[in-house]
A and B are shown apart, each in its own frame.
Chain A
Amino acid sequence: MHDKNAPSSVPPFTPMLFAGFMMRPVPAFSLNPVAKYVLVRMKKLYPEIFSRLAILENVNFLINPTDLHYRFYLSVKERETHIDVLGNDAERPEAQATISGPMVDLLKLMEGRVDGDALFFSRTLNIEGDTEAVLTLRNAVDSADVRLVDVLGGPVPFIKPGFTTFFSKVNSLGESLEKDFRTAQRSILFPIMRHVSEIDKELDRSEDRMRKIDKELVKIKTSLKKLQQPAGGVR
C-alpha cells in the first residue's frame, strides 16, 4: 500500500522549494499556457520523442516535482500527447504512472544531462505504477538532444543570442545555489532524517514482533483446540 507519510514524501531542500513558496500565490491554471507552449515547441523541435511515445496506448503520467506546489499531468492518447498543470491541493487525477523527484533533476533528465538509472539508484527519483510506460517515456525523451534554451527561446531569431546568455547565467546561478543548499541540508536536516530512520527501524522491529506474536497465537489456539477435543476422538 502506498504510504503517504513516507519520509520520501518530505520535499527536498532545494532552491526550487523556496521558489515554490514564492510562486504559491500563482494558481496552477495560469501556468497551463506556459506548459502547453513548451509541449508545442518540443513537438516541433524533437518529433522523434513523440514517435517513440506513440507505442503507448492511453497512458497518463503524473510528474511530481517534490519541491514545487505543482504537478504535471502528461497524457498520451491516440498517438497525441497533452499536458496540464495541477496544484498539489487538486484532487489526484487518475494516472497509470507517477514520477517524483526534485524539479532541477527532472529538468536535467529532460535535457539528458543526468542518467535516469543513476537518479533511481541514488534514490533521487521515485517511480510508481506502470514501469514499462515510465521506461518508454524516459527512453523517448533521451532519444533527442533536448535543450531547454531552444525550447524556451521561441521563434524570434534576433532575441535568441541575448536569451541564450541570460539562460546560461540563470543556469549557472541555479547550479551554485543547488550546491549551497546541499551543504545547508547536510548540516540542518541530517540529524532529523537520522531520527526518522530510527523510528522506521523501530516500526520494522515492532512489525516483526507482531508477526512472531501472531504465529505464537496460532500455535496456542491449535494447542487449545487439541486439548478441548473429547478423549478418544475420531478413529
Chain B
Amino acid sequence: MELVCPAGTPASLRAALDAGADVVYVGFRDETNARNFPGLNFSPEELEEGVKKAHDMGRQVYVAINTYPQAGNLDPWYRAVDAAARIGVDAVILADVGLLDYAKRHHPSLRRHLSVQASASNPEAINFYRSAFDVQRVVLPRVLTVREIAELITEIDVETEVFAFGGMCVMAEGRCSLSSYATGKSPNMNGVCSPASHVEYEQRRGKLVSRLGEFTINSFPNEEAAGYPTLCKGRFIGHTGDPSYLFEEPTSLNVMMMLPELIQAGVKALKIEGRQRGKAYVHQVVSGYRHAIDAAMKGEPVPFMDMGNITEGTRSTAGAYEKNWR
C-alpha cells in the first residue's frame, strides 16, 4: 500500500518525506492544478530540487496537472506536462482527455494517472481511459463504498488510488459549478474553489461571518468550530426558516479505521488531501497514516490517532466508504 501525500511548498515536501510518505504529489504555480492558491505551489526549479531529494531517499514525486485546459489557451497545460517530463517526475495526474492524449503522444514513457477530477467511477469509463491513453492508475472519486471499490478492482486492469484523509467535496468531482456560480472561477477551470480574492470574513457580535462573492455562506457562533468558505458547506435558510447545512457539513474525511478493509479490497495507494494546508498538517497526518498503514500491513490492529485538531470543523467522517444506501 503506497502512501501518497500532499505538498504545497518545498518545506511541506520535506515534511512529507521526513514523516514517511512513499510519494509526494505537487502542482506548478499556475492554473494547471486544482490548488491554484496565492503563494502556493512549485516553480520548475523548486520541483527539480524536490524530485532530487525524493529520489535520493528512494521515494517518488507525482505532479497534478488536473484542471481542464481553456479553449484557445492550451500552452500552460502543454508546458506543464513538458516540464514534468523534463524534470523526471514519476507520474503526472491528468483529467482532460486532450491533455492525456498530448502526454501519451509526446512523452510515452511518462507514467499517466487519471485524476479524481475526471470522475471515472465505473469499469467501462476506467477501461476506456486505459485503452485510449494507457493510464496506469485511477484516483477514484469519493462516492464508492469499500465493497463497490473491491468489485470495481476485479473488473479493471488499472491500479486504484483512494482518498484517505482531508477535505470532502460534494459528490460531483470535476463537474461542480458552485464556486463558478458565486465567483466565476471554479476548481475545474481555474484550479481554485472559492478563490480567496472573493472570500471575506467578518467578526460580528461574537460570530464569524463568512462570505463568498455576494453570498453569505455561514455564521459561526463564538464557540463553534469553523469550516472552509465553500458554498457546498454553507449554512442556508431553507423552508424551515432555520439555517442548516443543505449540501454537507464542515467535516474532514478520515478512513484510518477502515485500512484493513481497503487493503483487503486491493487498493494500491492511499491519498491524503491538502496541498493548501501547512507543513504541520502534512507532518501530523502523514506520520499518523505511516504508523497506521505499517500496522495494518503487518495484520496488527490500527492504532487510534486523534486528528481532531486539524480536521475541518474539528470533525471527521468515513464519508461514502461506509454509506449504506444507494
Binding site for B on A (CB under 8 A): 1-3, 6-9, 48, 52-53, 55, 109, 112-118, 120-123, 126-128, 131-140, 142-145, 193, 196-197, 200, 203-204
Would you call B75 an interface residue if the criterion is a C-beta within 8 Å of the partner chain's C-beta atoms? no
Which 4 pairs across A and B sit closest by C-beta, in order of nearness? Answer: A139-B39, A143-B9, A136-B39, A115-B281
Instruction: Give Cα distance in the complex from A48 to B13, angstroms.
Output: 15
Decide: A143 and B204 in contact? CB cutoff 8 A. no
Contact residues of B between 28 and 61, Cβ < 8 Å to A: 37-40
Binds A, one of B112-120, B261-269, B309-317: B309-317
- Once A132-B38, A139-B37 are accepted as A-B contacts, the answer to whether A200 and B206 lie under 8 Å apart by CB is yes
The answer on a CB contact under 8 Å between A118 and B279 is no
| Residues of chain B contacted by A55 (CB below 8 angstroms) | 38-39
User: Within B179-227, which residues are at the interface with A (CB < 8 Å)?
Assistant: 195-197, 199-208, 220-227
In the complex, the chain B residue whose C-beta lies closest to that of A143 is B9
| Chain B residues, CB < 8 A from A53 | 39
Given A6-B206, A118-B309, A126-B203, A132 and B196 contact (CB-CB distance below 8 Å) = yes
Q: Which residue of A lies closest to B8 (CB)?
A: A139
B222 and A197 within 8 A (CB): yes
- B12 touches A (CB below 8 Å): yes
Partner pick for B312 among A52, A121, A126, CB 8 A cutoff: A121
B 212-252 to A, binary, CB cutoff 8 A, 1 in contact else 0 = 00000000111111111000000000000000000000100
- Give Cα A179 to B238, complex, Å: 43
B104 at the interface (CB under 8 A from A): no
Known interface pairs A131-B199, A143-B11, A197-B222. Does A115 touch B277 (Cβ–Cβ under 8 Å)?
A: yes
Knowing A120-B226, A123-B220, A123-B225 are in contact, say whether A137-B39 is a contact too (CB < 8 A).
yes
- Is the CB–CB distance between B222 and A123 below 8 Å? yes
Given the contacts A55-B39, A115-B310, A200-B205, A132 and B11 also touching, CB distance less than 8 Å:
no
Q: How many residues of B contact A (CB 8 A)?
A: 47
Beta-carbon nearest neighbor of A108 in chain B: B280
> In the bound complex, what is the Cα–Cα distance between A120 and B208 (angstroms)?
10
Given contacts A121-B313, A123-B225, contact A112 B196 (CB under 8 A): no
Most buried by A among B9, B12, B195, B313: B9
Q: Return chain B residues, CB-CB under 8 Å to A193.
A: 222-223
* List of A residues within 8 angstroms of B10 by Cβ: 48, 143
Given A8-B222, A197-B222, A200-B222, decide whether A113 and B280 contact each other with a Cβ distance below 8 A. Answer: yes
New A-B pairs, 13, CB < 8 Å, besides A118-B281, A138-B39 = A48-B10, A55-B39, A112-B280, A118-B278, A121-B226, A121-B312, A127-B201, A132-B38, A132-B197, A142-B278, A196-B206, A197-B206, A200-B221
Q: Tell me the complex Cα distance, A219–B32, Å.
A: 54
Complex interface: chain B residues within 8 A of A1 (CB): 202, 204
> Taking the complex as formed, is B111 at the interface, i.e. its CB lies under 8 A from any CB of chain A?
no
Report which residue of B200, B205, B310 has the largest number of chain A beta carbons within 10 angstroms of its beta carbon.
Answer: B205
| Set A6, A48, A120: member contacting B203, Cβ < 8 A | A6
Are B222 and A7 interface neighbours, CB within 8 A? yes
CB of A26 to closest CB in B, whole Å? 29
> What chain B residues lie within 8 Å of A115 (beta carbons)?
277-278, 280-281, 284, 310
Tell me if B278 and A3 are in contact (CB < 8 A).
no
* B202 / chain A contacts, CB cutoff of 8 Å: 1-2, 128
Q: Mark B302-314, 1 if CB is under 8 A from A, else 0.
A: 0000000111111
The answer to whether A126 touches B208 (Cβ under 8 A) is yes
Is B290 located at the chain interface by the 8 A CB criterion? Answer: no
Chain A hits for B224, CB < 8 A = 123
Contact A131–B278 (Cβ < 8 Å): no
The residue on B at minimum CB distance from A204 is: B205
16 cross-chain CB contacts under 8 A? A1-B204, A2-B204, A6-B204, A7-B206, A9-B203, A52-B39, A118-B278, A121-B313, A131-B201, A132-B196, A133-B38, A139-B9, A142-B11, A143-B10, A143-B39, A193-B223
Chain A residues whose C-beta falls within 8 Å of the C-beta of B107 in the assembled complex: none
**Which residues on the B side are within 8 Å of A8 (C-beta)?**
203, 206, 208, 222
**Nearest Cβ on chain A to B279's Cβ, whole angstroms:** 5
Q: How far is the CB of A150 from chain B (nearest CB, A)?
A: 14
Q: How far is the CB of A38 from chain B (nearest CB, A)?
A: 19
Docked complex Cα distance between A134 and B38 (Å): 9
Chain B residues whose C-beta falls within 8 Å of the C-beta of A52 in the assembled complex:
39
Partner of A132, one of B195, B205, B281, B312: B195
Question: Which residues of chain A have C-beta atoms less than 8 A from B197's C-beta?
Answer: 131-132
Give A212 Cβ to nearest chain B Cβ, in Å.
11
Q: How far is the CA of A131 from the CA of B195 in the complex (A)?
A: 9
Residues of A with C-beta under 8 A to B226:
120-123
With known contacts A1-B204, A121-B313, A135–B280 Cβ distance under 8 A: no
Query: Which residues of A sit under 8 angstroms from B38, Cβ to Cβ?
Result: 55, 132-133, 135-136, 139
Indicate if the CB atoms of A135 and B203 lie closer than 8 Å.
no
Check A135–B37 contact: CB distance below 8 A: yes
B11 and A121 contacting across the interface, CB-CB below 8 Å: no
